[in-house]
Chains A and B, each alone.
Chain A
C-alpha cells in the first residue's frame, strides 16, 4: 500500500492517519456488499422461495424487517456491524461471528501453512534466480513461477490428489483429519480449532502425524500459488538491489557474489515481500475458498461455498462483510510493520 502524501512527519501521526483509514475502507466494502446482495430482492425469498407458501414468506419477511425502506435497513445494518454483530445465517440460524471461531481457525491454519510453503519455496528460489540471472537456471525458475501462477489452485489440488492420494495412496484425499482425531479434538477441553496445536496438546504422535498428513496437500496447493509470486518478486527486487551502488562497493571490496546475495542485498530485497504478504491476504482468501472446496477442508471458504449453494445470502453477506473487516485490519498491520522495518520510510 502506498503511503498517502502528507501523512505527517512522525510515526505516531502516520499510524493514526493510517488507522482512521480503516473505517472508510470497511464502510465502502460493506456498503458495496449490501447493495450487491440486496439488489436481488429480500434474502428470505431467495433462500426459501418455493419451499414455503407466500403467506409464510410474508410473515417471515415482515418479522425480519425486510419490508421496511432499504435505507432504514442499511443504517440498521451498519449499526449492527459497528457493534460487532454480523447477523445470523438464515438456514442454520448461527451467528456469523461464531462461524469465525469454528471455521475461521481452520482457514487461518491453512493460510499459515500456505505462507510457510510460499516463503520456504519462493525466497531461496528467487535469490537463486537473481544470482544466476539470464542462465538456464533462471529461465527454469521463472517458468516454474509462471506455471505456479498459471495453474488454478483447484487444478493443482486435483493433480496433487491424483498423484499422491489416488495413484500412490500415501496421503489422505480429503478433510482436515481422520474421524478418530477429529473426535479426540472435539472432546478435548477448549480446543483452539487449530488442529496442529490441538493435536500437540493431546500429545499423541498418531494424532499429530494424522493432522500433518492431511495438511500437506492443501498447504502445498495454496502455497505454490503464492510461492510463484514471491519468487518473481524476490528475483526482481534482488536484481534491482544488486545493481545499486552499495552492492557495487561491496563487490569492489572483493566480497563474494554469493555473500552479496545472501547478506547485503537480502534485507532491502525482502522489504517488499512484507507488503506483498499483506496484499496476498486477499489472494489467499480467494484461494482458500477454492482450496477448501477441493479438499473439503472445513473452513470459512468451504462454509461460504455451502451457504452460496443453499442460497443463504444473509450468511454470504455476513461472511463477506466479516472478511472485509479482517482484510482491512490485516492491511493496516502490514503497513505498520513496513513502516517499522523499512529504513527508507522517514517520519
Chain B
C-alpha cells in the first residue's frame, strides 16, 4: 500500500497544501493508515476468527444476535461475529487491491508505452480494444471473468485472484490511456529526438527516456483505482460471486446475506460491513482527490501558488 509513496510522497503534498485541502488529505491518510494497520494486525485485534461459529467451550454464538458484550457488533444470519468479519475483511480487501493494481499497472503501462511509441496499426487496434472494454459495464465483465476463473464462489486465494483479475481487465484501459497519451506527447520532445540521433534503440528510448516521464500521473490513478477495486470486489460479493465465507471475510458477501435482515429490522448485519466499505473507499478517495487537485494548477487552492508543482 505504501509503495506508491515513493513517487509522490503524500507528506510533501501535506506540506504544500493548506486549509480544507490539507484537512482532506490528512483525514484520508489517517483512514488509509488505520485500514492497512487493521489488515496487518487482524489476527491480534479480531475477537474471533472470520469463520468461527463457536466459543472455545463448543457453545454456538447464535444467529442474528443483537450487539452484546460478547459480540460488540452482534452476529450474522449465518452465526458469524460481525466485528470479527469486518476486521478480517480489511485483509481480503487489501490483498485484492495490491494484486489488482500491480497487475494492471504492469500490463497497462507496457501496452500504453508500446502503443503510444510505435503508433500505426498496433496503436489503432489497441486503442479500439481499450475503448471497447472501457465503455463496457465493468461489473458485467468482472462477473463473467470470475465465473471462468473460479466457477463462481471459491476459496480465499482463487477468490482473491478471480476478483483481482476481473478488476485488472477493467483497469488496464485506464493505465493504458494515461500512459499512451503521455507517451505520444513525450515522443515529440527534443530529448527523445536527441537520443534517437545518438543511436539509441527503440527499447532503450521507450524504457529509459519515456517511461519515467510518462508514469508521473499514475499514483493518482492508483488511489482512485484502489477505491474502485474495493467497490468491484464488494459488488461481486453482493451478487454471490465473491469469496466463500469459510475461506475469507468479504464485506460484499456479508451485505448480500443481510438483505433479508433489513426487511426484518435487523440493522447490525448490514450497517457495519457497509460502513467499512464506505470508510476505506472514502479514505482512499480523499487521498487521491487531494493529490489530484494539488497536481492540477487549475484546482490547487489559490494561496499555494508559490509552491512549484513541476519537477
A interface list, Cβ under 8 A from B: 1, 21, 24-25, 28-29, 32-33, 36-37, 39-40, 134, 136, 138-139, 142-143, 146-147, 149-152, 154-155, 158-159, 161-162, 165-167, 173-174, 236, 239-240, 243, 279, 282-283, 285-286, 289-290, 293-294, 304-305, 308-309, 313, 316, 320, 323-324, 327-328, 331
Contact = CB atoms under 8 A, between A and B. Distances in A.
A24 B132 CA distance: 9
A136 B139 CA distance: 35
Given A134-B301, A152-B238, A239-B299, A282 B259 contact: no
Interface residues of B, number: 52
11 contacts: A24-B132, A37-B147, A152-B238, A154-B238, A155-B274, A159-B270, A166-B263, A240-B298, A286-B140, A286-B235, A289-B137
A308 B239 contact: yes
Question: Which of A146, A165, A236, A239 has the most CB atoms of chain B within a 10 A radius of its CB?
Answer: A146
A308 B270 contact: no
A145 B115 CA distance: 35
Contacts of B262: 158, 161-162, 166
Given A25-B135, A28-B129, A149-B281, 20 more contacts: A1-B135, A28-B132, A36-B145, A36-B148, A39-B148, A134-B302, A143-B24, A154-B255, A158-B255, A158-B262, A162-B270, A162-B271, A165-B263, A167-B265, A174-B263, A239-B299, A282-B135, A282-B137, A286-B235, A305-B239
Nearest to A136: B20
A256 to B, nearest CB: 21
Contacts of A331: 135
B267 A162 contact: yes
Interface of B: 19-20, 23-24, 128-129, 131-133, 135-141, 143-145, 147-148, 151, 227, 231, 234-235, 238-241, 252, 255, 258-259, 262-263, 265, 267, 270-271, 274, 277-278, 281-282, 285-286, 289, 298-299, 301-302
Nearest to B264: A166
Contacts of A161: 262-263
Given A294-B259, A308-B239, A150 B282 contact: yes
B137 A323 contact: yes
A147 B277 CA distance: 11
Nearest to A143: B24
A294 B278 CA distance: 17
A293 B145 contact: no
A290 B139 contact: yes
A33 to B, nearest CB: 6
Contacts of A167: 265
A58 B136 CA distance: 35
Nearest to A134: B301
Contacts of B238: 152, 154, 290, 293
Given A146-B289, A162-B262, A289-B239, A40 B136 contact: no
Q: Chain B contact residues: over half helix, strand or loop, or mixed?
A: helix
B37 to A, nearest CB: 20
Question: Which of B19, B133, B238, B255 has the most CB atoms of chain A within a 10 A radius of its CB?
Answer: B238
Contacts of B137: 282-283, 285-286, 289, 323, 327
A146 B24 CA distance: 11
A147 B140 contact: no
Question: Which of A158, A282, A309 has the most CB atoms of chain B within a 10 A radius of its CB?
Answer: A158
3 closest A-B pairs by CB: A286-B139, A150-B281, A155-B274
B144 A28 contact: no
A147 B298 contact: no
A324 B286 CA distance: 33
Contacts of B129: 28
A40 B147 contact: yes
B229 to A, nearest CB: 13
Nearest to B292: A236
A151 B148 CA distance: 28
Contact of B138 (A149, A282, A328): A282
Contact of A152 (B20, B148, B235): B235
